[in-house]
Amino acid sequence: MSFADLKRKSQSNFEFLQKELEKSSTSNGADDRLWKPELDASGNGYAVIRFLPAPDGETVPWAKLYTHAFKGPGGWLIDNCPTTLGDKCPVCAENTKLWGSGHESDKTTARDRKRKLSYYSNIYVVTDPKNPSNEGKAFLFKYGKKIHDKILAAMQPEFQDETPVNIFDFWEGANFKIKIKTIGGYWNYDASEFVAPAALSSDDDKMETLWKNSYSLEAFTSPEMFKSYNDLQTRMDGVLNSSPATLQTQYEEDESPAEVTLSTRKYESTSSSSVSDDNDDALSYFAALANDD
């Protein structure tokens, strides 16, 4: 599809995305492609971003990814969950058994090992007070259900007096104000909001360059990013039952714990990372999960 087609088909693209959005709402070294807001001294954060359309050749402007991250006697398991692709997952199967045992301790274990939902989109940074050098540049943005729900509310409003907005559209989309408060040690995005719809720029050439240089989103969920059922079962068995020494041998045959990244472990341009906190230490990664919305 050409850039001219993208502009002409803006409304039909919006209708398609509304359906995809409804379906998706059910249910370490640093990667410099990823942008993340930062907090000020008071523990608050503020930035303005613009969600961009799907990259050239792709159809959906977000990637939806389930992951697992937990520690057992044999070390850490940090891996993509095959249920992302509609496949069976040994970790989820074990969690189902634990949940159905009737023991509260097993339910607690299942909660600790449950899959985590994340989304990825291409964005343009409008305002970044903590890092002004990011302004005017495009990045990948990882976000959770809270922000995804705000996208859903903008595109499929609940009340009749609200007008649906395709926030991924260059011409009729809207900037997103990220407002973060730290509550109980967690980042809270409740105050974040979309502003009135407006074109990102009056310069179509600039927007076309942004579009053509967008990062692939389908790469996050390509089959090679996921272990087979048997390989993931082996990894889980090692984490839950093996000694750290045995697990280390297993990692050396695959990748070290510090080199595991949930979404782009084998993607060509991703350096070893934990995508949640730009940190290559598994413990720091897992602790940072608390600050994902």
Extended beta strands in 150-243, E state: 176-183, 186-188, 193-194
Sign of the C-alpha dihedral computed for residues 53, 170, 150 and 157 taken in this order: negative
Instruction: Give, in order, the Cα–Cα distances in Å from 243 to each of 37, 71, 72, 95, 229.
Output: 38, 12, 10, 22, 22
Separation CA 290–CA 56 (nearest Å):
34
At residue 265, the pLDDT reads: 42
CATH 3.30.830.10 fits 1-293, yes or no: no
Provide the 10 A C-beta neighbour count for residue 100. Answer: 11
Mean pLDDT by 10 residues, the chain (293 residues): 74 65 54 92 95 96 97 95 98 96 95 96 98 97 96 95 96 97 93 97 96 95 95 96 51 37 38 33 44 59
Confidence (pTM): 0.77
| Domain residue ranges of the chain, discontinuous segments joined by + | 1-293
Residue 8: its pLDDT value, please? 72
Give tens-digit pLDDT for 193-213. 999 999 999 999 999 999 999
Coil, strand or helix: which one is 37? coil
Quote the pLDDT of residue 2: 75
Q: What pLDDT does residue 5 have? A: 76
Cβ-contact 227, 212 below 8 angstroms = no
Query: What is the rounded CA–CA span in Å between residue 270 and residue 104?
Result: 40
Phi, psi of 261 (to 5 degrees): -120, 135
> According to DSSP H, which parts of the chain are helical?
3-8, 10-24, 90-99, 104-113, 145-155, 204-212, 229-241, 244-253, 282-288
**Tens-digit pLDDT profile for residues 25-82:** 544 556 889 999 999 999 999 999 999 999 999 999 999 999 999 999 999 999 999 9
| pLDDT at residue 6 in the model | 75
**Residue 247 backbone phi and psi in degrees, to 5:** -65, -35
Query: What's the pLDDT score for residue 290?
Result: 46
Q: What angle do CA 137, 140, 144 make, to 5 degrees?
A: 130
Q: Looking at this protein, which amino acid is placed at residue 275? A: V
